């Protein structure tokens, strides 16, 4: 079966932690929606995976922001994926799934496509998703990482304080600009690799 839709899910944190480095995936996904223009509706609240989440459902892309706390986001992501297939009558082979997340190992705004099976490198959000969602071999799977840089100190406490700190306006601008363009290019590359989309669900 050919690819009919691409489901893109960003990881982050809700509430007061939404504007922190750990939520860079959410920021970049929102900027991507604006980059796509009229073909991609604005984000709006929706009941998905038994929780209230922000969603933008367009002709090719379904963009979802995980409403769960980063470290336990896996169960919601798994429910949202299965629900998306079931409600639209899609087989795993017809859906490309892309997980968007922050990356401490890359400079701010640098976007990279990662193999789904690549090590989570201590990222608890990815670890949670891997534990809850078993990638169907018939499907198309990828991760896209968003670079946030990292503090000079490498101890666990310093890293934790950094990822949970608020993103300054200038750096948010870099994420929204370079990050959204990089994600746009990454999705185009994945779509070419996976065979394109031919549906307007």
Render pLDDT for 136-150 as a digit per residue (tens, 0 to 9): 999 999 999 999 998
CATH of the domain at 72: 3.40.50.1470
| Strand ranges in the chain using DSSP code E only, listed in sequence order | 5-10, 44-48, 51-57, 61-65, 95-103, 111-115, 140-147
pLDDT of residue 196: 72
Is 201 part of any domain? no
Residue 164 included in any domain: yes
Question: Over the stretch 37-70, which tens digit does the pLDDT of each residue have?
Answer: 988 999 999 999 999 999 999 999 999 999 999 9
Q: Is residue 199 part of a domain?
A: no
Please check the confidence at residue 186 and state whether its pLDDT lies above 90: yes
Pairing state between β 111-115 and 5-10: unpaired
Note the pTM of the prediction, 2 decimals.
Answer: 0.94
State the pLDDT at residue 2.
85
**pLDDT of 1 strictly over 90:** no
Q: List residues bridging with 112 in a β-sheet.
A: 145
3 state DSSP class of 86: helix
Residue 200: inside a domain, yes or no? Answer: no
Domain that holds residue 96: 5-194
């Amino acid at each position: 079966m050919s690819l009919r839709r691409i489901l893109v899910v960003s990881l982050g944190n809700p509430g007061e932690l939404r504007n922190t480095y750990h939520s860079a995936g959410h920021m970049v996904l929102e900027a991507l929606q604006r980059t796509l223009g009229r073909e991609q509706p604005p984000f709006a609240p929706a009941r998905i995976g038994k929780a209230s989440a922000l969603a933008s459902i367009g002709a090719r892309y379904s963009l979802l922001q995980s409403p769960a706390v980063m470290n336990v986001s896996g169960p919601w992501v798994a429910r949202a994926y299965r629900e998306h297939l079931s409600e639209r009558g899609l087989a795993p082979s017809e859906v490309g799934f892309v997980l968007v997340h922050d990356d401490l190992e890359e400079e701010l705004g640098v976007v990279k496509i990662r193999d789904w099976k690549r090590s989570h490198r201590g990222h608890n959000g990815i670890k949670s998703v891997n534990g809850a969602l078993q990638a169907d071999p018939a499907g198309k799977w990828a991760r896209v990482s968003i670079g946030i840089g990292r503090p000079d100190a490498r101890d666990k406490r310093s890293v934790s304080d950094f990822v949970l700190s608020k993103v300054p306006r200038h750096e948010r601008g870099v994420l929204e600009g370079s990050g959204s363009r990089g994600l746009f290019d990454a999705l185009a590359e994945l779509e070419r690799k996976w065979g394109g989309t031919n549906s307007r669900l």
